[in-house]
Amino acid sequence: MASSERAPTKVIIVGCGVAGPVLACFLKSKGYTPVVYERIVRDSDGGLSLMLQANGLRVLALIPGLLDQLPGVVEDHMEFCSTVPGHEDQLGEYTYITSSDTAKLTMEDLNNIPGMGIRRYDFLHLLSETALQAGVEIHYERKVVDVHQHADSVEVKFEDGTTDTASFVVGCDGIHSNTRVSLFGREEASYTGLTQLGGFSPAPKSWKHKNSMFNYFGEESHMISYQVGPNLNSWAITRREAEHKETWRAVDDSMLQELKKDPVSEWSFGAGELLQTAHKMIKYGLYDRPELKTWYKGRVVLLGDAAHPTSPHLGQGANQALEDIYHLVRVLMKYNPSAEDPSTEVLKNAFEEYEGIRLPRTSALVKQARQVGDKMRVISGVDACLARDESVRATWANPEIGLRNLARARTGPFEGESEI
């Protein structure tokens, strides 16, 4: 067959969460034939929300028209409050005036806004719809249980006993990745000692700024809140507690009423009101997983949470998955520009370069996220809490320092180039 008539290179993507459909859009546009397999039904309503930050938004901006359609809220304000009993105070605030119309956001805006709050359901729906419209095949309710490598292909096995085969496989199957288990064996997830209680609520009446990210620093607990829709706020309380399951299922109504009596319901600055008026809540434990030394084996490579699961305290999980995509597609283009069926050697070069760039960065961020949880958000003793509050006050007294701290996590992924 002449090279212009060759069969397109099929790539199996395991998982249609955040990373799967975005990666599929990029690969399709480069001449590959991505096929996505997802374990659950389409548009299932698990989880709450995400905070998209500059780095993630910059990758999404490379898919024509996508940024304009994001059904999220551009936050133009941040506020930091202490809720330590007897020491309640506003510790700082930051405002960046910009258009609420995502189509008008410049790169400078993206770097300066606190972020874009978005409901996970809305985001995932848009991403899968975008991939389908680009002609990507997505198969729901197809759980991958194993992968088998051959000399020049990979066979993926599903729970129902059926199989499919592709040139190479990208595991975008999140924190419970079976692709990761197939490559590197089963590992123990260890409880970090922290839980989160999250929910959706209307905006408290006392808030002057509605499009705002609030950080409430209490004794032994922390609450974050940001707007994700018209009069809809997503929040999460982090604290140290006995072990809790790693589930994303919403609690039932009687538990919801019980959780509204939580001590945080007494907090000021609108925090207590968020809890009291919540109409959906989820409670889950936060778990650590061992850091992998490598993310690929032969023709199979990991991406996103499957490669580098993280505590949520930097709000970078999805944003880092998007950075991964940028670099994986970039190196595939570098080593296999015509998107022809690659040899294992070509894939090795691409995967090695991808991992060389991404593994050290995500490793540092996973550690930093854990530290923010343990050393900033959930700390014991009034004196330690007041010292923490002073450091927040000092940081945001000069917003340039605060933004510089934030930029460490959210700068990227472009290194002198903005397209792939």
Ligand X SMILES: Cc1cc2nc3c(=O)[nH]c(=O)nc-3n(C[C@H](O)[C@H](O)[C@H](O)COP(=O)(O)OP(=O)(O)OC[C@H]3O[C@@H](n4cnc5c(N)ncnc54)[C@H](O)[C@@H]3O)c2cc1C
Which residues form the interface with ligand X (CB under 6 A)?
A: 14-20, 37-40, 50-51, 143-144, 172-174, 176, 178, 196, 304-306, 312, 315-319, 321
Kindly state the smallest distance separating residue 415's Cβ from ligand X, in Å: 21
169: helix, strand or coil: strand
Kindly state the smallest distance separating residue 131's Cβ from ligand X, in Å: 13
Nearer to ligand X, 201 or 336 (CB): 201
Kindly state the smallest distance separating residue 147's Cβ from ligand X, in Å: 10
Kindly state the smallest distance separating residue 205's Cβ from ligand X, in Å: 25
Report residue 256 as tokens.
């919801």
Nearer to ligand X, 56 or 342 (CB): 56
Kindly state the smallest distance separating residue 37's Cβ from ligand X, in Å: 5
Kindly state the smallest distance separating residue 346's Cβ from ligand X, in Å: 25
326 close to 361: Cβ distance less than 8 angstroms: no
CA 325 to chain centre: 13
CA 133 to chain centre: 23
Radius of gyration of the chain, Cα coordinates, nearest whole angstrom: 22
Report residue 404 as tokens.
């510089």
Nearer to ligand X, 295 or 336 (CB): 295
Beta-bridged to residue 198, according to DSSP, are: 236, 282
Beta-bridged to residue 312, according to DSSP, are: none
Q: Which residue is nearest to ligand X (CB)?
A: 17
Can you tell me the distance from the alpha carbon of 147 to that of 369, in angstroms, rounded to the nearest whole number? 31
Nearer to ligand X, 15 or 402 (CB): 15
Can you tell me the distance from the alpha carbon of 220 to that of 239, in angstroms, rounded to the nearest whole number? 6
Nearer to ligand X, 112 or 336 (CB): 112
Nearer to ligand X, 40 or 407 (CB): 40
Other beta carbons less than 10 A from residue 83's beta carbon: 23
Classify the C-alpha dihedral 61-56-216-230 as positive or negative: positive
Kindly state the smallest distance separating residue 397's Cβ from ligand X, in Å: 25
Enclosing H/E stretch for 73: strand 73-75
Beta-bridged to residue 138, according to DSSP, are: 36
217 close to 385: Cβ distance less than 8 angstroms: yes
Can you tell me the distance from the alpha carbon of 275 to that of 297, in angstroms, rounded to the nearest whole number? 46
Classify the C-alpha dihedral 148-149-150-156 as positive or negative: positive
Q: According to DSSP H, which parts of 74-198 are helical?
A: 107-112, 120-133, 178-184
The amino acid at residue 62 is L
Kindly state the smallest distance separating residue 402's Cβ from ligand X, in Å: 18
Enclosing H/E stretch for 166: strand 163-166
Nearer to ligand X, 172 or 336 (CB): 172
295: helix, strand or coil: coil
Nearer to ligand X, 308 or 336 (CB): 308
Nearer to ligand X, 264 or 342 (CB): 264
Q: According to DSSP H, which parts of 5-73 are helical?
A: 19-29, 54-60, 66-69
Kindly state the smallest distance separating residue 310's Cβ from ligand X, in Å: 7
Nearer to ligand X, 199 or 342 (CB): 199
Q: Which residues contact 109 (CB under 8 A, 6 or more apart)?
A: 96, 98, 99
